[in-house]
Structure 1
């Protein structure tokens, strides 16, 4: 196995682990949006965005925040359990008309038309158990579905994180802790994904109790 390939069984193991986790802990991340989502809503609004795709939406705390801020939201995740929780929450909040869900594995092409969205958000989705090749392909899909001038804002754990280099090693920068596999980004990968984009920010921040160390990356397409 080369540095850019991945054990195909890992993807299915991770899918099942997330399914079990959402089933055992409904609303596991709480109702409040993540700090990156709050920031992203401000960035998207300043850019004049109207419609947002969230990749890896989970049970929906960030997708629901975007909807409350007036955006039309498509929330994608590979867990039907998480998406069921999201739809229920959207209906209970009176946001059902603003939020649609899409069961989708980001290893596959996005089932969306070219140049159909203003903004894409992904909080720690790109640093899941995805190979470098799969991450690059996903970035290409994001580029395809964004309109000219569209914004892509994502967060990823990076190689300065305490978990990097520890736990079960799966190759290609992926290490597993507590059943969750993470692809830790170095700055070279951030820069590679920004090739052909306007890289507006690669902001280092911390989150959680470890704390997790991440980058918040904002990049936009030329108009």
Structure 2
């Protein structure tokens, strides 16, 4: 990572720490629509263990646990994960949820071929460079078992905030303090090289609304 990229990453980490600290439960308790979809996909595939990247305060990780999956929830914000653990205890699913502070730029804390499914709701479109995104997806493939599913969502270049606010290069734009890497379709296709690309589903979320893709791909058997 360049010195500038490292500085942006640290600024974003602190921003999320303050945001989670000042707004407990800011996303509510209901799971995201992509998480509900992913749980159905994972269940149909016979998955038992789910890694969630960028779990934040945990509404999706907790949903996976309530649905009977064993969950490893990672995030670079200790504050968010503290709130997740407290909620897991309150909901009676603490035994099915493990948390780990992890920066998506670092290798995943998992052995090769050790997890059934990976979920990431808008983690890949945070303040990550294209090179860092490719490295992360390579790590996801390493950690997944053959036939394992990876479901992720990203904001794309059709979003109203694309090219709004402060530009950081590499299609990263900062608006309201949040830096987002907006995806072109060619990046989705490049990330699927060597995988089986099952679906690229366009959807909208929130009041703006945000424009996203939900991508489903699997490791070949």
- TM-score, normalized by the shorter chain, greater than 0.5: yes
What is the CA deviation profile of residues 146-178 of structure 1, one whole-angstrom value per residue up to 9, with x for unaligned ones?
Answer: 000000000000000000011100000000000
Q: Deviations over 1:17-76 (max 9, x none)?
A: 000000000011000000000000000001110000000000000000000111000000
1:23 pairs with one of 13, 21, 27: 21
Partner of 2:106: 108
**Contact residue 206 and residue 214 of structure 1 kept, 8 A:** yes
What is the number of residues matched between the two proteins?
A: 221
Matched residue, 1:46: 44
State yes or no: 1:182 paired with 2:187: no
What is the CA distance between 1:111 and its match in structure 2? Answer: 1.4
For 1:145 and 1:46, the matched residues in 2 are separated by: 20
Give structure 1 regions of 4+ aligned residues with deviation exceeding 6 angstroms.
none
Cα deviation 1:85-123 (Å, max 9, x = unaligned): 000000111101000001000100011100000000000
Which residue, out of 35, 54, 57, partners 1:56?
54
- TM-superposed deviation, 1:6: 5.5
Offset of residue 5 of structure 1: 9.3
The answer to whether the Cα contact below 8 Å between 1:5 and 1:133 also exists between their aligned partners in 2 is no
RMSD: 1.3
Instruction: Return the alpha-carbon distance in structure 2 between the equivalents of residues 131 and 31 of structure 1.
Output: 31
Of 79, 83, 86 in structure 2, the residue corresponding to residue 85 of structure 1 is 83
On the 8 A contact 1:156/1:215 being kept in 2, the answer is: yes
Change (3 A) 1:44 1:64: same
Aligned to 1:199: 197
Structure 1, unmatched stretches of 5+, are: none
| Alpha-carbon spacing, 1:82–1:152, altered in 2? closer, same or farther (3 Å) | same
The answer to whether the Cα contact below 8 Å between 1:6 and 1:131 also exists between their aligned partners in 2 is no
Deviation at 1:7, TM superposition (A): 2.5
SS in 2 for 1:109: coil
Contact 1:158/1:215 (8 A) holds in 2? yes
Match of 2:140 in 1: 142
Match of 1:11 in 2: 9
Q: CA offset at residue 8 of structure 1?
A: 1.7
List runs of 5+ in structure 2 lacking aligned partners.
none
Equivalent residues in 2 for 1:109-124 (5 A)? Answer: 109-124=107-122
> 2:125 aligns to what?
127
